Copies of this chain bind each other. A is one copy, B any other.
Amino acid sequence: MPAAGKDTVPAKRLPTLEDVAARAGVSRATASRVVNADPRVGNLARTAVQEAIEQLGYRPNRNARSLVRPEADSIAVVVPEAEQTVFSDPFFAALLAAITQSLADSPVQVLLAMGQPGNSQKIERYLRGGYTDGAIVVSHHKDDHIWQVLHATKLPAVYVGRPYAGDVGIPYVDVDNRAGGTLAAEHLISTGRRRIGTITGPLDMAASEDRMLGWQQALQQAGLAADLMEHGDFTASSGALAMQRLLNRVPELDGLFVASDLMAVSAIHELQAAGRRVPEEVAVVGFDNTQAAQLTRPPLTTVVNPVGALASTAVEMLLKLLGGSQVEERVILGTELIQRASA
């Protein structure tokens, strides 16, 4: 095999608008008009150009186009640094799949901008610079400041998950975490549980806070104590530890709402290790309805987190924004409880 390096064979040059025009016997301007569906062009010329495009397999050069136009035909999916660890698996993959799916028919490309420890400038530089028409930001953390860049740039953007910072003037779509927490607690109450605890996510995330508040509200409304609370960070091990602490404090616990399925599975193992039967002695409700909920024993009763709908709604909103339409400041998706065997 010959030495490596730049190819010497000048990869056959792609057809340009000039080529199309020449072949169709018109000027570049006319060809451009056809490509951009400008009505001011004769039928004869139009079909000639269209044929030429077909025969040459012409595609407009995106770079040249966005050099002279404001559009870039690309959107960025931004995952701030702080989320890296949290969005381990299921949520993120589903999100990306749904996003690309929603964009399948458009020429828009998806650019992935994941934050790195100590490197948010790379993302910011990209967001400025005008290489992208809009952004979908996946963020729930307190210390995310991407929104400031978006704000300064006036770049159309949509958050998936309520920004913790509050109303930052950027629309978002989220699941009704608070209602979900209430749903879980009410289910536990309705099955006769009276000493109901919760394992929350980290409280610097809006979702954690909301789920906890929903749980709290339901208990208070039922006249039950709402102080049986321990905090995790959405990882499995943190769920186990929180469970140990809670069980230590409240041996008579008979109901439990865990803010994520992953932590819930760990918590159930911990309960079983401590000799508690689930659901007979302690009923457990999770949150997310990930695959883990179905695969664990007993199968987990849990609150649905509709990731697919979140993603497609975000795309829909962003596309509206790009089209110049208004969108609601916030879209909150409903949720429901799926009853399995754990509660």
- The reply to whether the CB of A145 lies closer than 8 angstroms to some CB of chain B is no
CB distance from A124 to the nearest CB of B (A): 11
Set B93, B111, B153, B265: member contacting A295, Cβ < 8 A = B265
Pair A266/B291 contact, Cβ less than 8 Å: no
Within 8 A of B (CB), among A87-124: 87-90, 92-94, 96-97, 100-101, 104, 107, 109-114, 116, 119, 122
Tell me whether A166 is interfacial, beta carbon within 8 Å. Answer: no
A179 to chain B, nearest CB (A): 26
User: What residues on B are CB-neighbors of A92 within 8 Å?
Assistant: 93, 96
| Nearest-Cβ distance from residue A60 to partner chain B, whole angstroms | 10
Q: Are B93 and A114 in contact (CB under 8 A)?
A: no
Contact A295 B297 (CB under 8 A): no
Residues of chain B within 8 A of A292, CB atoms compared: 292, 295
Could you say how many copies of this chain the assembly holds? 2
Q: In the complex, A89→B90 CA distance in Å? A: 5
Q: Are A59 and B129 in contact (CB under 8 A)?
A: yes
- Taking the complex as formed, is A309 at the interface, i.e. its CB lies under 8 A from any CB of chain B? no
A126 to B96, CA, bound (A): 18
The chain B residue sitting closest to A237, CB to CB, is B294
Q: Which residues of B contact A111 (CB under 8 A)?
A: 109-112
Spot the interface stretch: A6-14, A17-25, A252-260, A335-343.
A6-14
| B62 lies within 8 A of A154 (CB) | no
Interfacial residues of chain A within 1-48, with CB under 8 A of chain B in the complex: 1, 4-7, 9, 11, 14
Residues from chain B with a CB closer than 8 A to the CB of A272 are 297
User: Known pairs A100-B114, A104-B119. 10 more at Cβ < 8 A?
Assistant: A4-B324, A5-B324, A11-B153, A14-B129, A61-B129, A89-B90, A93-B93, A110-B111, A262-B291, A297-B297
Sampled A-B contacts (14; CB under 8 Å): A5-B324, A6-B70, A59-B129, A61-B67, A61-B129, A63-B67, A77-B112, A84-B97, A88-B93, A89-B94, A96-B96, A104-B119, A236-B291, A266-B295
